[in-house]
Structure 1
Amino acid sequence: MVHYTKPHLTVIDQVALLQRRGLGVTDAAAAERALSRIGYYRLSGYWYPMRRPNPRGGRQDDFLAQAAFVDAVDLYVFDKKLRLLFLDAIERLEVALRVAVALQLGAYDPWFHRDPSKLDAKFTTADGRTGRSKHDEWLSRLDASVGRSKEEFVRHFQSRYTSELPIWIAIELWDFGLLSHFVSGMALRDRDRIAGQMGLPRSSLLTSWVRAINDLRNICAHHGRLWNRVFISTPSLPRVGEIPSLDHLRNIQVTKLYAVAAVLRQMLLAINPGSQWHDRLKIHLQTFPQSPLLHMSSTGFPLDWERLDLWN
Structure 2
Amino acid sequence: MRYTKQYSSPSELLVILENRGLDCSDTENAEHILRSIGYYRLSGYLYPFLKAPKSEHIYKSDSTLGKALSLYEFDRELRLLLFNQIERIEIAVRSAITNIACEETEDVFWMSKSEYFANTDKFNKTIQLVDKEIQASREDFILHFKESYEEPYPPSWMIAEIIPLGTLTRVYENISSNQIRKKIARYFGLSVPVFISWMTIITLTRNSCCHHARLWNRSLSLRALTMTRPLRPWLEDDVQQGRVFFTLCILKHFIDIIRPDNDFKQNLLVLLEKYPMIDTQAMGFVDNWLEQPLWEC
Q: Distance in 1 between matches of 2:276 and 2:22?
A: 16
Q: Do the aligned partners of 1:282 and 1:306 also contact (CA within 8 Å) in 2?
A: no
Q: Distance in 1 between matches of 2:86 and 2:216?
A: 18
Displacement after TM superposition at 1:195 (Å):
1.0
Shift of the 195–244 alpha-carbon distance from structure 1 to 2, 3 Å rule, reads: closer
Task: State the number of aligned residues.
Answer: 292
The aligned runs of 1:234-253 (5 Å cut-off) are 234-239=223-228, 241-243=229-231, 245-249=233-237, 251-253=238-240
- RMSD of aligned alpha carbons: 1.7
1:228 maps to what in 2?
Answer: 217
Q: Give, as a single letter, the amino acid of the residue that structure 2 aligns with 1:298.
A: A
Correspondent of 2:185 among 195, 199, 210:
195
2:19 maps to what in 1?
Answer: 20
Q: Tell which deviates more after alignment, 181-190 or 92-101.
A: 181-190
2:293 maps to what in 1?
Answer: 309
The aligned runs of 1:1-312 (5 Å cut-off) are 2-26=1-25, 30-54=29-53, 58-107=54-103, 108-119=106-117, 121=118, 124-125=119-120, 133-163=121-151, 164-187=153-176, 188-200=178-190, 202-239=191-228, 241-243=229-231, 245-249=233-237, 251-288=238-275, 290=277, 295-311=279-295, 312=297
Q: Do the aligned partners of 2:234 and 2:292 also contact (CA within 8 Å) in 1?
A: no
Q: Distance in 1 between matches of 2:252 and 2:7?
A: 44
Q: Distance in 2 between matches of 1:286 and 1:248?
A: 25
Q: Do the aligned partners of 2:20 and 2:57 also contact (CA within 8 Å) in 1?
A: yes
Q: Distance in 2 between matches of 1:277 and 1:289?
A: 18
1:193 aligned counterpart, secondary structure: helix
Q: Give, as a single letter, the amino acid of the residue that structure 2 aligns with 1:307.
A: E
Q: Return structure 1 stretches of 4+ with deviation > 6 angstroms.
A: none
Task: Please report the TM-score for the alignment, with normalisation by the length of structure 2.
Answer: 0.93
Q: Distance in 2 between matches of 1:142 and 1:289?
A: 46
1:129 maps to what in 2?
Answer: none
Displacement after TM superposition at 1:247 (Å):
3.6
Q: Tell which deviates more after alignment, 160-169 or 100-109.
A: 100-109
Q: Distance in 1 between matches of 2:23 and 2:276?
A: 16
Residues 184-207 of structure 1 show CA distances to partners (whole Å, capped at 9, x for unaligned) of 11232111000111122x111111
Q: Give, as a single letter, the amino acid of the residue that structure 2 aligns with 1:94.
A: E
Q: Distance in 1 between matches of 2:207 and 2:200?
A: 11
Residues 95-152 of structure 1 show CA distances to partners (whole Å, capped at 9, x for unaligned) of 0111111112223211111222212x2xx24xxxxxxx12211111111111111111
Displacement after TM superposition at 1:179 (Å):
1.6
Residues 32-81 of structure 1 show CA distances to partners (whole Å, capped at 9, x for unaligned) of 11111111010000010101111xxx542111111111111111111011
Q: Distance in 1 between matches of 2:231 and 2:183?
A: 17
Q: Give, as a single letter, the amino acid of the residue that structure 2 aligns with 1:102.
A: T
Shift of the 289–17 alpha-carbon distance from structure 1 to 2, 3 Å rule, reads: farther
Q: Do the aligned partners of 1:71 and 1:289 also contact (CA within 8 Å) in 2?
A: no
2:254 aligned counterpart, secondary structure: helix
2:286 aligned counterpart, secondary structure: coil
Q: Distance in 1 between matches of 2:280 and 2:23?
A: 21
Q: Give, as a single letter, the amino acid of the residue that structure 1 aligns with 2:168.
A: L
Q: Distance in 2 between matches of 1:212 and 1:86?
A: 12
1:62 aligned counterpart, secondary structure: coil
Q: Do the aligned partners of 2:235 and 2:294 also contact (CA within 8 Å) in 1?
A: no
Q: Do the aligned partners of 2:24 and 2:30 also contact (CA within 8 Å) in 1?
A: yes
Q: Distance in 1 between matches of 2:195 and 2:116?
A: 19
Q: Give, as a single letter, the amino acid of the residue that structure 2 aligns with 1:285.
A: L
Q: Distance in 2 between matches of 1:218 and 1:53?
A: 32
